Structure 1
Amino acid sequence: MNFSLTSKAIETTKADCLVIGVPEKGKWADSATAVDAALGGLVKRLQGAGDITGKLASTGVFPLQDAPWARLLVVGTGKDAERTPAAFRKLVTAALATLKDGPSKSALLALADTPVSAADDLGSEPALLQVTGRLLEEQFYTFTDFKSDKPDARKLTKVAVACGDAGKASKAAFQLGLATGQGMNYARDLGNTPPNVCNPVWLAHQAERMAKDYDCIKTDVIDEKQMAKLGMNTILAVGKGSTEPPRLIVMEYRGGKAKDKPYVLVGKGITFDTGGISLKPGEAMDEMKYDMGGSASVFGTMKVLAETRPAINVVAVVAAAENMPDGGAARPGDIVTTLSGMTVEILNTDAEGRLVLCDALTYVKQFDPAAVVDMATLTGACIIALGHHASGLLSNNDELANELLAAGERTGDRAWRLPLWDDYQSQLDSNFADMANIGGRPAGTITAACFLSRFAKDYRWAHLDIAGTAWVSGKAKGATGRPVPLLVDYLMSHVRK
C-alpha cells in the first residue's frame, strides 16, 4: 500500500474515490466546502435530501460523473461540540473501513482540516495528519502468513492524504504517524505468530535481524548459561519446564548524546503460558500466545525509533521464556534467589510474568536510566478492574506517571493509575523467603506491581499492565499493537530539541 501527502488543490486532484467530512451541525471544513462548490452544490443537496446525515462516523458512497473522482465517500463529523481528537479518530476509522475493501484503486483523503476542538495543538493539521498516518497503517493491517488460501489482494493500492501545507512540520507528523502504525503492526505480527514458531529463541532472532536491518540498533542476547552465571534464577525457574530455553534480549538505540541517560523499556516475553504446574483451564488457552504482548510492544517501539531516528537514547530489554509444566518445571513452594539477591517463594507458577521481569528490572540498573517503563500482560485482575479500554499504570514517581497518562490521552492509548501504597506490600509476606510471588485475590494488579517495585527502587519506574489492551478476543481475535502509541508519544516528548 502506498501512502503519500499532497498539498495540491483537491478540486483538480484525480482519484477513484474522494473522501470528505461533513458535519451534522456546525462548521464545514474548507475542503468539503471547496468540493461542494466544484460539484455544483451536490453535497449540500444530498444533505438536504437526507442522504447525508453528518452524524459522527456515518458514511455514504455516491457515484460521480464528469468529475476528477469516480465516487465520493462522505463521512459524518458530528457536531462541533463533540468533535474531539477521539471523535476524529473514530470518523477516520469509519471512513477507512468503508474504503479499504471497496472497488477503488486510488483514494484522496481530505479530512485533515476537519475542525477539532482540543488543547495542546491536538486539533492542528499536523496533529491530525499524524493520527491519520497511524490509522492508515493500523486499519489496513492483515495477517495471513499461515493461511494456505490467501485472500484476494485489495483493489485499493494508493491513498493520498490532502493537507493545506506539505511543509516540514506536516511531513514529519505524517511520517511519525505512519511509523507508529508500522510499529504497531510489527507488534501485532509478533503477537499473532503461533507459539510453535514464536518462542524465546525466535524472538531473539527478530532482535538480531533488527540490528542487521537498522545500523542504529545494537542487539545483545543473553542465553541460559549466561543467565545462570549472572544469577538470573527467576527467569530460569520459569523456563525450566520447557524444551525452549529462555533468553534475555537487549536492544540499544543511541540517537542522543553519549552523556544522555537512556530511557529503558522492559517487556514481558512469555511466548506461551500454560500456567506451569499451576495449570490454567483449557478454554481459550490458545490466547496465551499473546502473553508476550509486552515484549511485542517493545519491539514495535524500537522499530518506530529506527525508522524516525529521534535524538534520544533508549534501551529495550525483553525477558523471554515459555511457561510449561513438564517434570523439570518449577513447583509451588520452590524458593529461588533473584539477580538482586532477594529470595522469592513461588506460591503459584502462573504468576510467572513478575518472575521474569524482576530479574530484568535488576539487570537494567547498569544503564543508569533516566526512567524505566515495563509493560506486561500481567494480571487478569486488571481486566476485571479496567476492562479492555485502559491499561493499568502504577509507578514510584508521580512525574513519570503523569507523563505516561498524558501520552495515553494524546494518542487515545489510555492508561489509568492505580495506587502503589505500602499498605499492600504485606500481602506478599512469606514465612520462608523474602517475599511470595502472589498476594492473594484482593488487589491482584496492585500486589503484582508491589512485587516489581521491590526491584525498581534505584530509579524512576512505571509499570503498565496491558492484560486488557494487548489483544482482543472473539471474532476479531488478534493482537492490538498497544501500547506502542503511548510509548512512542512518551519517548518523543523527551527527544532532545
Structure 2
Amino acid sequence: MPLSFSLRHDAPDALDTPLLAIILPSEPTLPETLAALDAQFNGAIARTIARRDFRGGKDETLLLVGGERGVQRLLLVGRGSAPLTRTTARRAAAIAARQAGKLGTGAMYLYLPGADPASIEGLVIGAAAGSWSYPDLQTQPPEKDRRARLASVTMLADDTAANRAALEVGIATSEGQNIAKRLGQMPGNYCTPESFVEVGQDIALRHGMQITVLGRREMADLQMGSFLCVAQGTTQEPRLVALEHKGGPADQQPVVLIGKGLCFDTGGISIKPAPEMEWMKFDMMGAAGVMGAMEAIGRLKLPINVVGIIGSTTNMPSGEAVKPGDVVRASNGKTIEIINTDAEGRLVLADLLVFAKRFNPAIAIDAATLTGAIVIGLGGNAVGVFSTDKAAADEVLAAGVAAGEPGWPMPMWDEYKEQIKSDVADMKNTGGRAAGSITAALFLQEFVDGFPFVHLDVAGTAYSQSDLGWIPKGPTGTPVGTFVEFVRVRAQQ
C-alpha cells in the first residue's frame, strides 16, 4: 500500500495519534506552540531540553511515551545547526520515518516549527525515503511478530495553496524516487531491459506520454554499433526506450534526459573481480533516474516538453562478446577502439546522444553510474558534473543543490583528449585510470551535435554500500531530484 500524505492545521496537544515527531534545531528551546502538549507530558519535554538530554544534533532522536489517548508517543528529532532547507527537513523526516517503522506505529504526524513550502516538500520526500523498503523477495515473519509499516504521514502546517502545492511536488518526487529505487534494488535476474519497457509503458499510459521502444533489430537499422557491441554477449534483448512528455507548445525544444541502464555489469571480457560484483545490479541507476523523473514530471503535469531516453542491456562475457582491440562504429559514423570492455556505459550513451538529436533538444542531460574514478575523486557525497557549457552546468548544479543532490564541476580541457586518441580508430573507449571520469565525459562529448550537454556521473551517489543513517544501504533516489528540479525551474521560465 502506498504511503499517504496530508496537511492538517491543528494544535499538537489536540492530536490523537500513535506518534508525533517534532523536528527541532540544535540547542533548542521549547516552542510556545508546544507548551500545552508539554503540560500533557507533565513537563517532560521542557525538562528534557533543559537537562540537555536532547540537544537537537543532526539525526539525534529521543522518544517519550505518553498515555493511551492523545499523543501516545512523542519523538524528538534533531536537524542540527544548519539552516532550515528542503534538504535538512528531508533528512530529519527520513530519520523520523525510520523510527516510526521500527516502532510499528503505522501512522505518524510530523511537526516542524516554522515550516515553509520548501521544507514541506522536504518533509514529504524524506518521510517517503525513510519508510521505503523492498520486501518483495523476503519471507515475512509470522503475523504476530510483524510491525505495521508506515502507511500515513500528516504534516502539521497551515492548509494554504502554497503548502498544498508543495505537498504535491513532494509526493510526485517521492513517487518518482520510489520507481527508481525499486528498479535499482531488484536483482539482475528480475530487473532486465524488458523491465524498463514495462515501467515506461505504465508511465506513458497513466500520464498520456508517447513511448518509443527499439530492440536489437531496430538499433541495427540505425547503425547503433556502439550500443549493440555491449549487448553482443547476452541473449537478452537490448532496449532503447524514449518517453515524450508534451506539456509545452508544439514548437518548444524539449529538455532531454538520458540514462545508462546496464541491468548487470560483469565487465564483459575485461571481467570485474568477483568480490562485491553483486553491487553491479545498480549499474542501471541513471536509467532508473530518468524513469523516476518522467513519473514525477507526468504527475505534476509540468508545462514543458521533456523527453526521457534510456538504453538498457547487460554486459556479459561469452563467445560472442565484444573483445579488447575490436573496433565498432557508432550511429554518427565515428569509430571506436575497444580498449576495455568494462568501459561499456559510455558506448551505450554514445548512440543515445546521437539518437537524442532527432528531438532537437534545448539541452540534454545524461546520468550514469559511469566511472569508479568519480568515486575516488568525490566519494559518495557529490555528483560529478561535466560540461563545456558553463551556463548549462551552473543551472544543473543549482538544481542539484536545491534537490539535496549536490554536484561538483569537473574540468573538460582539450588536453585530456590526448588520452583517448587511437592508432586504428577515431578514438578509444578509455584513456586509462588517470582522470578516468574526465576522459569518459570527453568521450561522450564526441557524440553531441548542436545542443548544450551536461553529463552527471552518479557512480558514487546513486546507491550506497553502507547505511547512511537517514536511509538504509542501497539505492538513494539520485538523480531523480536533480532532474525534476531542473525541469521545474525551466518550466517556470
- Same fold at TM > 0.5: yes
SS of match in other structure, 1:266? strand
Match among 53, 70, 73 for residue 72 of structure 2: 70
Mapping of residues 161-200 of structure 1, within 5 Å = 161-163=155-157, 165-200=158-193
Deviates more, 1:444-453 or 1:135-144: 135-144
User: 1:280 — aligned with what?
Assistant: 272
The whole-number CA distance in structure 2 between the counterparts of 1:204 and 1:77 is: 40
How big is each residue's C-alpha offset from its partner over 1:283-320, in whole Å with a ceiling of 9 and x where there is no partner? Answer: 11111111111101011111111211111111011111
The whole-number CA distance in structure 1 between the counterparts of 2:231 and 2:88 is: 44
The whole-number CA distance in structure 1 between the counterparts of 2:100 and 2:41 is: 21
Q: Is residue 373–residue 462 contact of structure 1 (8 Å, CA) maintained in 2? A: yes
Q: Does 1:159 find its partner at 2:153?
A: yes
How big is each residue's C-alpha offset from its partner over 1:90-131, in whole Å with a ceiling of 9 and x where there is no partner? Answer: 4333322222221534322111x34xxxxxxxxx61011000
User: 1:483 — aligned with what?
Assistant: 479
1:146–1:36: structure 2 CA closer, same or farther, 3 Å change rule? Answer: same
Give the aligned residue type for 1:9: A
Q: Is residue 100–residue 106 contact of structure 2 (8 Å, CA) maintained in 1? A: no
User: 2:111 — aligned with what?
Assistant: 110
Shift of 1:442: 1.0
The whole-number CA distance in structure 2 between the counterparts of 1:30 and 1:457 is: 59
Q: Is residue 339–residue 362 contact of structure 1 (8 Å, CA) maintained in 2? A: yes
Q: Does 1:269 find its partner at 2:265?
A: no
Mapping of residues 81-100 of structure 1, within 5 Å = 86-100=87-101
How big is each residue's C-alpha offset from its partner over 1:9-40, in whole Å with a ceiling of 9 and x where there is no partner? Answer: 33323212222234443565454355336656
Give the aligned residue type for 1:157: A
User: 2:47 — aligned with what?
Assistant: 45
Question: What 5-or-longer segments of structure 2 have no aligned partner?
Answer: none
User: 2:427 — aligned with what?
Assistant: 435
Shift of 1:396: 2.1
How big is each residue's C-alpha offset from its partner over 1:246-267, in whole Å with a ceiling of 9 and x where there is no partner? Answer: 1111111111121211100010
1:48–1:148: structure 2 CA closer, same or farther, 3 Å change rule? Answer: closer
The whole-number CA distance in structure 1 between the counterparts of 2:402 and 2:163 is: 17
The whole-number CA distance in structure 2 between the counterparts of 1:369 and 1:155 is: 43
The whole-number CA distance in structure 2 between the counterparts of 1:103 and 1:230 is: 53
Q: Is residue 21–residue 29 contact of structure 1 (8 Å, CA) maintained in 2? A: no
Over 6 Å off, 4+ runs: none
Question: What 5-or-longer segments of structure 1 have no aligned partner?
Answer: 115-123
Mapping of residues 372-383 of structure 1, within 5 Å = 372-383=364-375
The whole-number CA distance in structure 1 between the counterparts of 2:62 and 2:129 is: 22
1:54–1:338: structure 2 CA closer, same or farther, 3 Å change rule? Answer: closer
The whole-number CA distance in structure 1 between the counterparts of 2:251 and 2:131 is: 40
The whole-number CA distance in structure 2 between the counterparts of 1:166 and 1:38 is: 26
The whole-number CA distance in structure 2 between the counterparts of 1:56 and 1:62 is: 19
Shift of 1:86: 4.6
Shift of 1:382: 0.6
User: 1:492 — aligned with what?
Assistant: 488
Q: Is residue 222–residue 249 contact of structure 1 (8 Å, CA) maintained in 2? A: yes
Q: Is residue 133–residue 175 contact of structure 1 (8 Å, CA) maintained in 2? A: no
The whole-number CA distance in structure 2 between the counterparts of 1:26 and 1:48 is: 9
How big is each residue's C-alpha offset from its partner over 1:333-353, in whole Å with a ceiling of 9 and x where there is no partner? Answer: 111111001111111111111
Mapping of residues 12-411 of structure 1, within 5 Å = 12-25=14-27, 29=31, 31-33=33-35, 35-36=37-38, 41-65=43-67, 68-79=70-81, 86-111=87-112, 113-114=113-114, 125-149=116-140, 152-154=146-148, 156-163=150-157, 165-212=158-205, 214-411=206-403
The whole-number CA distance in structure 2 between the counterparts of 1:77 and 1:474 is: 21
After TM superposition, the score normalised by the length of structure 1 is 0.92
Shift of 1:226: 1.1
Deviates more, 1:179-188 or 1:13-22: 13-22
1:384–1:156: structure 2 CA closer, same or farther, 3 Å change rule? Answer: closer
How big is each residue's C-alpha offset from its partner over 1:396-434, in whole Å with a ceiling of 9 and x where there is no partner? Answer: 211111111111111221111100111111111111111
SS of match in other structure, 1:69? coil
Give the aligned residue type for 1:478: G
Shift of 1:174: 1.3
SS of match in other structure, 1:494? helix
Same amino acid, percent of matched pairs? 37
SS of match in other structure, 2:367? strand
The whole-number CA distance in structure 1 between the counterparts of 2:193 and 2:104 is: 42
After TM superposition, the score normalised by the length of structure 2 is 0.93
The whole-number CA distance in structure 2 between the counterparts of 1:289 and 1:470 is: 12
Q: CA RMSD in A?
A: 2.1
The whole-number CA distance in structure 2 between the counterparts of 1:365 and 1:53 is: 54
Give the aligned residue type for 1:324: M
Deviates more, 1:137-146 or 1:34-43: 34-43
